[in-house]
Amino acid sequence: MDHSRRDFLKKATATGAAILAAPTVFGTGAFPKKQKAADATAPFKLKYAPSIGMFHEHAGNDIIDNIKFCYDMGFRAMFDNGLMGRPVDDQVKIANEMHRLGMELGPFVLYADFAVTSFVLNKPEIREMLVNKMKEGVEVAKRTGVKWALVVPGRYDEKLHRDFQTANVIDNLRYCCDVMEPAGLTIVLEPLNTLHDHQGLFLNGIPQAYAICRAVNRPVCKIVDDIYHQQITEGNLIPNIEAAWSEIAAFHLGDTPGRNEPGTGEINFKNVFKYIYSRKYEGVLCMEHGISMKGKEGEERVIQAYRECDSYEV
């Protein structure tokens, strides 16, 4: 082990100790007494996935150091929405380090144009554009081994009946699946809230996404359930997860209001995670949220929040 790696591990261990000593974000007390110091860096029960760079105050700006830090803090997955836009050398570097550590790389954003109508239209030029975009995603998957590509179907068309739009989305997704299926790359459709963040988008609810996936009826067309968005859109989180379970392939996380780490808003993440764990879920839960406090203290509070939410009895 070289000196830089030894120093890095010392840094990670010190952070774990600081997390245990800090007051919890869920109240003024410390962690439960039954939690041992070693638990501060033990693997989490679920594959919570920080974004690359989330803990830059501790890990710096180097991509590999960020991945190593997350591993040393107990995380066994990462995600990078902008993976597709990274230089090929960086994509390969990320993939190699994740593979070396036995970590999972969560969904990257393949197509999410919030400004245009696309999937809802029955037009050859739209279909050609989408198919070409899927081919680009397949090339990223070949280099990185990533299994999921996030897709947002874009805006709805005010001039076209909703049912026709739904039929067009289903048809266009089938063309996309023709590209993705041979490569083993799964599309994960993300419903987004239109009440606060993304007015005018076609896909906004888990029941709607579930119905579309069932109609597409292809194993590589699934859902990413964004807990933040769905708490705003419909609430009823656990029952909707249960109802749509067969079509959910990934999760995004964020509390509301505020879209920061668990414990800063109204969602009972400990119960949500306990339910997901009870279903023997082995996929990724992307930590797609901000940090409520600045600096190293803020990063430590994020890790602490996940430790508390992950402390349910099994």
Active site residues: 190, 288
- Look up residue 225 and give its amino acid: D
Q: Mapped to the 3 state alphabet, what secondary structure does 115-165 carry?
A: CCECCCCCCHHHHHHHHHHHHHHHHHHHHHCCCEEEECCEECCCCCCHHHH
Please classify residue 7 by burial: count the beta carbons closer than 10 Å to its beta carbon, then call 0-12 exposed, 13-18 middle and 19+ buried: exposed
Task: Say how far apart CA 134 and CA 153 lie, in whole Å.
Answer: 13
Q: What are the angstrom distances between the C-alpha of 52 and each of 64, 90, 146, 221, 292?
A: 9, 12, 15, 26, 18
157 conformational bin, left if phi > 0, alpha if psi -120 to 50, beta if neither: beta
Q: Can you list the alpha helix ranges (DSSP code H) found in the chain?
A: 3-21, 56-59, 63-72, 88-101, 124-144, 162-180, 206-216, 227-233, 237-243, 269-278, 295-309
Q: How far apart are CA 276 and CA 47, in angstroms?
A: 11
Question: 19-57 burial, b if ≥16 CB within 10 A, otherwise e?
Answer: bbeeebbbeeeebeeeeeeebbbeebbbbbbbbbebbee
DSSP line for 291-304? -SS-HHHHHHHHHH
Q: Pull the structure tokens for residue 278.
A: 């009870």
User: In whole angstroms, what separates CA 272 from the centre of its chain?
Assistant: 15
Instruction: Dig out the tokens for 211 from the structure.
Output: 């119905």
